[in-house]
């Protein structure tokens, strides 16, 4: 054993020196007893907060019955979840269950490639993706992500992805060629810095796909499951994709991902063409069915939109007062980004000092991702924390500026 460091966890994460032992709704309780308001939601995962009674009950009930069952046999609860997701999606006919966002994207990519192969056009295997995208950390999804800093040192990236500037329709048109199979895009770039493009851009992509026989794939791993105030973010665009990935909030904290596809898109997916040992695991399916039960209750998404409006208004007021620290609010629903003027890592640390947990993103943005069950009082508390953090950072800057 050569590892002399204190930790035996592979050091791929820059972890904060803070650990939590339990969660209650929007709060996390640290091992030292301190309470934090959790506006990370495990990076858009704990949409119903921590220890939601309906999720706890569903998982406890399933835990006494059946933990795992292979896909050699039928899955009545998986059938039910798939049927509900298809109905809600208003486009999909089939669902493949997997265990993470990256795996959902792997399935998306395979569905798109196999679709064309099954129609006799195996030469169509390339997908157009966008700068600033994030699709995961497997070798294929990294290639789709296209970020130099994540790809470096891992050998030649998987071939088949052509990246164009985000929101640039002309660049997309230029890129379409005889090998193009589809277009892959997030309705809002989450990791990339809560970056949006106008709904007309997505409608234009749909038009281009229809015109050229391409498949349109939406990566809703972060935006899906109520995060933007709609069950799926693309509902705001007035067009549907052919293929869509879900994960993060789908299991409310239990690992589960999904790839949804139309029958036409999935034309090449036949027995043996894809698989997963754990995909559609009974515990994961029970958690996801319970999440959907809560999210489909009348008023759930209205609440998200109401809290979104409140949070955005209050954040805008803080920006008015502290333009030297924060400069812009972006995003939809409760996928909110605050663009920092100071280094975003400093703002995240200052907020943590004020007992508010947030998460950074590209373009020097700090993401506010509260559980979707967040209350008005909790929103007010978060903004008060931001106010104090801004005041502290301004004071720090002044001291620094006045110093030697």
Ligand X SMILES: *Cc1c(COP(=O)(O)O)cnc(C)c1O
- The Cα–Cα gap between 296 and 294 comes to 6
Which helix (H) or strand (E) is 97 found in, with range?
strand 94-98
Q: Which of residues 98-157 bind ligand X (CB under 6 A)?
A: 100-102, 105, 134-136
Name residues contacting ligand X, limited to 168-187 (CB under 6 A).
186
The minimum distance between CB 245 and ligand X, in angstroms, equals 7
Provide the 10 A C-beta neighbour count for residue 299. 8
Shortest CB 104 distance to ligand X, Å:
7
Whether 338 contacts 368, CB under 8 Å: yes
Rg (CA), the chain: 22
Q: How many angstroms separate the CA atoms of 61 and 11, rounded? A: 36
Cβ nearer to ligand X, comparing 208 with 359: 359
Active-site annotation holds for 134 = yes
Per the annotation, the verdict on 278 as an active-site residue is: no
Residues 6+ positions from 247 with CB-CB distance below 8 Å: 98, 100, 101, 103, 104, 221, 256, 257, 258
Structure tokens at 339: 């663009």
Angle at Cα 11 formed by Cα 340 and Cα 344, nearest 5°? 5
Q: Among 38, 191, 332, 378, which residue interacts with ligand X (rule: CB under 6 A)?
A: 191
Query: Binder to ligand X among 183, 247, 295, 379 (CB under 6 A)?
Result: 247
Q: Which is nearer to ligand X, 248 or 322 (CB)?
A: 248
* Residue closer to ligand X, measured from CB, 154 or 302: 154
Find the catalytic residue in 97, 219, 237, 339.
219
Is-catalytic flag, 248? yes
Smaller CB distance to ligand X: residue 139 or 391? 139
Which x/- pattern, by CB under 6 A, does the window 71-100 give for ligand X? Answer: -----------------------------x
Shortest distance, CB of residue 1 to ligand X, whole angstroms? 29
Q: Which of 110, 248, 312, 314 is catalytic?
A: 248
**Which position's Cβ is nearest ligand X?**
101
Question: Does residue 292 belong to the site contacting ligand X (CB under 6 A)?
Answer: no
- Per the CB < 8 A criterion, the answer to whether 369 and 335 are in contact is yes
Residues 6+ apart with CB under 8 A from 103: 136, 138, 247, 257, 276, 279
- Helix then strand then coil, in percent of the chain rounded to 5, is 40, 20, 40
Number of residues that bind ligand X (CB under 6 A): 15
CB 215 within 8 A of CB 245: no
Instruction: Kindly list the catalytic residues.
Output: 134, 219, 248
**Chain positions contacting ligand X, by CB under 6 A:** 100-102, 105, 134-136, 186, 190-191, 219, 221-222, 247-248
């Amino acid at each position: 054993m050569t590892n002399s460091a204190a930790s035996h966890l592979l050091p791929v994460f820059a972890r904060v020196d803070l650990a939590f032992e339990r969660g209650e709704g929007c709060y996390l309780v640290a091992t030292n007893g301190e309470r934090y308001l959790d506006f990370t939601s495990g990076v858009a995962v704990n949409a119903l907060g921590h220890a939601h009674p309906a999720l706890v009950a569903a998982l406890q009930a399933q835990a006494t019955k059946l933990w795992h069952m292979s896909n050699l046999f039928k899955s009545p609860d998986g059938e039910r979840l798939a049927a509900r997701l298809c109905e809600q999606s208003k486009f999909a006919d089939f669902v493949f269950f997997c265990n993470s966002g990256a795996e959902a994207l792997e399935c998306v990519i395979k569905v798109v490639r196999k679709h064309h192969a099954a129609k006799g056009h195996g030469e169509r295997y390339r997908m157009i993706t966008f700068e600033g995208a994030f699709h995961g950390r497997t070798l294929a999804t990294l290639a789709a992500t296209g970020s130099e800093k994540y790809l470096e040192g891992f050998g030649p990236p998987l071939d088949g992805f052509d990246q164009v500037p985000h929101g640039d329709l002309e660049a997309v048109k230029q890129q379409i060629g005889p090998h193009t199979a589809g277009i892959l895009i997030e309705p809002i770039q989450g990791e990339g810095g809560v970056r949006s493009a106008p709904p007309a851009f997505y409608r234009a992509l749909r038009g281009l796909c229809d015109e050229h026989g391409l498949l349109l794939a939406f990566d809703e791993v972060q935006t899906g499951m109520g995060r933007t105030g709609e069950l799926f973010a693309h509902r705001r665009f007035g067009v549907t994709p052919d293929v869509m990935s879900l994960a993060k909030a789908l299991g409310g904290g239990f690992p589960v991902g999904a790839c949804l596809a139309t029958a036409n898109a999935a034309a090449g997916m036949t027995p043996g063409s894809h698989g997963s040992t754990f995909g559609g695991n009974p515990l994961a399916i029970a958690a996801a069915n319970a999440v959907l039960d809560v999210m489909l209750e009348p008023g759930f998404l209205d609440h998200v939109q109401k809290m979104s409006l409140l949070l955005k208004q209050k954040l805008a007021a803080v920006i008015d007062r502290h333009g030297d620290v924060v400069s812009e609010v972006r995003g939809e629903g409760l996928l909110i980004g605050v663009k920092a003027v100071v280094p975003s890592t400093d703002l995240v640390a200052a907020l943590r000092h004020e007992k508010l947990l947030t998460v950074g993103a590209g373009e020097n943005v700090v993401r506010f991702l509260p559980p979707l069950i967040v209350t008005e009082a909790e929103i007010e508390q978060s903004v008060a924390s931001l106010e104090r953090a801004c005041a502290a950072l301004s004071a720090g800057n002044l001291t620094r500026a006045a110093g030697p």
